[in-house]
Amino acid sequence: MTNHTPGRNCLIVAVLLLAALFGACKPSGEESSSHPPVVVFKHSKLFGDPRPLAQLLAEFERANPGVRVRAETLPAASDAQHQYYATNLAAGAADFDVFALDVIWVAEFARAGWLRDLSHLLPAAEREAFFRGPIEAVTWEGRAFALPWFMDAGVLYYRKDLLDKNHLAPPRTWDELLHAARTVTRTESGVHGFVWQGKQYEGLVCNALEYLWSHGGEVLRNGQVVLDSAANRAALTFMRELLTSGVTPEFVTTLTEEPAREIFGRGAALFLRNWPYAWRLFEQQGSAVRGKVGVSALPHFIGGKSAATLGGWQLGVNRHSRNPQAAERLAQYLTSPAAQKVLALAYGYNPPRRALYEDPELLAAQPFFAELRAVYERARPRPVTPQYVRLSQVLQAEFSGAVAGLKSPSQALIDAQRQAEAILR
């Protein structure tokens, strides 16, 4: 990814300010050893210049004399990271202290006893500073086991030039999206109506939940499985009808994020559901759709509300850490407003703190942030359960069967209900 040159000077200023916020208050017993503690920070590879993060870590060291930080990267694939953490943490590994968790892992790792309770770092006022979805995602049985680091949520991209040409507004409901797609594709050759992530994988679950939620449906309610409901049947039926009506091409069942983005990015689709990262790529030099793309909250069904599936990463502290106080300070430092601003400017990471979406320097560097706040206010985590990985496997298979027409939406939900109840029993 290209680096953000706007706001480069404020990167330096923001990093320097952090030293005053996270000064060297040495807890007794931890840093009195003749061997200065080394806090190991595990995270996935950053796409961009590594220097802003390195500078943040160097400032933390200067503000905490005697503490050293060693950053170590893991493969970009989420599944590979999950396997690494689960294998090592189950064995009681203490060779890393702070680590980045996918939004769907916190409950699983907390119940397994692998995470330190960080509730004391999130008093009420601090919780209110974050969007609600990320706080829900890090909370298990009333306690916080991680700190929100950066976030994502599903959004709708649209060709504003084609909508304007046909005197159409960005759709607020799914019916309006259908009408716009049919209107435009009648006259624009080589343009699909709506592309999204329909392959059998986690991305399909993220997409499907947005239809279910925007129709008033749920997966879990008060701890009970409620998949087999009229609202969910109607939502899943609508997803299948997107394909049978021709608004969405049949090959959507092979699409993940990048192939879907590439179709829209070469001008071959009117609408796209994807994550915020795609905006920067659409607006870069040489893009076929540069200056032609709008973004909005996802549509909803009549009587429902727009909903977006929460994505993103959190910072947890290894329960077996040999330097727990220093590790907690590092996690708190990296999730502070100033650090999140640095990461947003350097890498385009979307901060989970509300106030940063009103920051003039951030808005100047990333005007797209102004559109994201309303989306992030409605972002919802996937079902927060220690069994989410197993539950997702069921949802992926059953949603895929319904979308591809291999079974009826009704049967898919009946089967998903039965299997989910067995998993969560």
Q: What is the pLDDT of residues 150-163, one digit of tens each?
A: 999 999 999 999 99
**pLDDT band, very low/low/confident/very high, at 76 (cuts 50, 70, 90):** confident
Report the amino acid identity of residue 44: S
d(CA 61, CA 83): 30
d(CA 239, CA 312): 25
pLDDT for residue 32 is more than 60:
no
Query: What are the pLDDT digits (tens) for 342-398?
Result: 999 998 889 999 999 999 999 998 888 888 999 999 999 999 999 999 999 999 999
d(CA 107, CA 321): 19
pLDDT for residue 11 is more than 60:
no
Q: Which domains does the chain have, with CATH numbers?
A: 8-152+311-380 (3.40.190.10), 153-309+384-424 (3.40.190.10)
Q: Which of 4-8, 131-135, 322-326, 368-372 has the lowest mean pLDDT?
A: 4-8
pLDDT for residue 257 is more than 90:
yes
Phi and psi at 421, nearest 5°, equal: -60, -40
Query: What are the pLDDT digits (tens) for 286-341?
Result: 999 999 999 999 999 999 999 999 999 999 999 999 999 999 999 999 999 999 99
Rg (CA), the chain: 22
pLDDT for residue 260 is more than 80:
yes
**pLDDT band, very low/low/confident/very high, at 237 (cuts 50, 70, 90):** very high
Phi and psi at 195, nearest 5°, equal: -120, 150
Burial of 288 (0-12, 13-18, 19+ CB in 10 A): exposed
Phi and psi at 254, nearest 5°, equal: -110, 0
At residue 19, the pLDDT reads: 44
At residue 34, the pLDDT reads: 52
At residue 368, the pLDDT reads: 84
